[in-house]
Structure 1
Amino acid sequence: MIGILVTLTISWILLYLIEKRSILSLGFLPLIKRLKQFVIGFLITAVLCIGVQSLEALLTSSHLFLNKKLNASLLLSMFWWDFKSVLTEELIFRGALLYILLRRFGSEKGIVVSAVAFGIYHWFSFGIFGNIIPMLFVFIGTGLMGYAWALAFSKTHSIFMPIGLHLGWNFTFNTIFSKGPLGDGLLVSSGGNMISDWFSLISLWGVPITVLLIVKYLVRLDNGELKETQLSRRYSLWR
């Protein structure tokens, strides 16, 4: 939690020093509208993750069953871990820095820079730096996803949909299907046969491409930036 507060503070300082804006410029208002965008983003990637994991279970003939050891406290703690990690990454990659890039260099260049940075970051977070082939595969997959989420920020003028898109995948993957670093979550897999490693490209490349197409063609461009910027200034600590 301290890390999030530090990231928020640094973001606020950067926005003020470079753009003379407050943290609200990242699209926190109007709140109801932003929460709707968050939920839409969450559902998009959650449904995609459920589809990929269900297909994998079908192809491997594995069985999914409820984790009897799971309780409400553990489920909430796993969700909180997912939320904290997602929010931290979003504030770094789709927060103040992306906002400044979009303002200074335009949407196309800003989105590309954000996507490249996100892809490179995952070389280190996945621990694959130095392994050329995995680096290439991960860079393309995470870079495409970073591009889709940055595009969502650019079109909605808000960090809320990117957070929803990111959390929808991570929570479903890590906590619902127990595939992440948190251990057994809601569903646990048993048995099953091995399938080709190429199947992993469905989630690594196929999902980002699908999300990108959804954001590009189905998410409406928000033309209310001026009005919301004025609203954010109204509630800024620096008036």
Structure 2
Amino acid sequence: MLGIIVLITISWLILYLIEKKTILALGLLPIKKRLKQFLVGFLITGILCFYNQYLEIFLKSSIWVLSENSTSEIILKSIWWDVKSVLTEELIFRGALLYIIIQKMSSQKGILLSAIAFGIYHWFSYGVLGNIMGMLFVFIGTGLMGYAWALAFSKTKSIILPFGLHLGWNFTYNTIFSNGPLGELLLISQGGNELTGWASLLNFINGLIIIPVLVLIYVRYFVKEETEIIEK
């Protein structure tokens, strides 16, 4: 929690020193509109993650079962972990710095730089640094998703939609389907076969390319371009 407070403080300071703006420049208002954007984004990526996980168990011929270790305390801890990790990444990659780059340069350059930085960051968070193929695949997948989320920031003039899109995926992937660093949570995969050959390739392409492209299509064609930021 301390890290989040520090990031918000630094973001506020940067915005004030460079743009004479407050943290509200990140598009936190109006609350009703931003809440709707958050919920829509959360549902879209949550549904896409369900589809992604369903395809994987279909290809594996496995099933999802409720974890015997699942408790309300563990689930709440995981949700909080998801919120903190997502908010941290959003403040860094779709926060004050992206806002300033867009203001000083252009939306296109800001979005591209944000996507590149997001892809490179995941070399470290995924532990693939030095593995050329792994670095390439991670960069493409996370870079595409980062591009979609940065575009969402640019179009809505707000951090809220990208936060919702990001959290919807991470919460579903980590907490519901137990794919995160906290181990078994709500559902766990049981039985089935290891993916090989075309099945492995299809599952790989789906998660790496198809899902990010679907998110990008939604943001590009279905998210309305806003023209101003409300600060009060």
TM-score in terms of structure 2 length: 0.96
Q: What's the CA shift for 1:180?
A: 1.4
**Structure 1 residues 1-239: aligned runs within 5 Å:** 1-196=1-196, 197-198=200-201, 199-223=203-227, 225=228, 228=230, 232=231, 234=232
Distance 1:66 1:135 in 2: 33
Q: Which amino acid aligns with 1:210?
A: L
Q: Secondary structure of 1:189's partner?
A: strand
Distance 2:219 2:56 in 1: 25
User: Alpha-carbon deviations, 1:7-27, whole Å to 9, x = none?
Assistant: 001100100011110001001
Q: Which amino acid aligns with 1:217?
A: Y
Distance 1:220 1:157 in 2: 10
Q: Secondary structure of 1:179's partner?
A: coil
Q: Secondary structure of 1:128's partner?
A: coil
Q: Which amino acid aligns with 1:168?
A: G
Q: Which amino acid aligns with 1:188?
A: I
Q: Which amino acid aligns with 2:156?
A: T
Q: What's the CA shift for 1:156?
A: 0.6
Distance 1:159 1:43 in 2: 17
Q: What's the CA shift for 1:73?
A: 1.4
Q: What's the CA shift for 1:201?
A: 2.5
Q: Which amino acid aligns with 1:192?
A: G
Distance 1:64 1:129 in 2: 32
Distance 1:36 1:71 in 2: 30
TM-score in terms of structure 1 length: 0.93
Q: Secondary structure of 2:178's partner?
A: coil
Q: What's the CA shift for 1:55?
A: 1.1
Q: What's the CA shift for 1:68?
A: 3.0
Q: 5+ residue gaps in structure 2? A: none
Q: CA RMSD in A?
A: 1.0
Q: 5+ residue gaps in structure 1? A: 235-239
Distance 1:201 1:119 in 2: 17
User: Alpha-carbon deviations, 1:127-175, whole Å to 9, x = none?
Assistant: 1111111111111111110000000001111000000000000010011
Q: How many residues align?
A: 228
The aligned residue for residue 237 of structure 1 is none
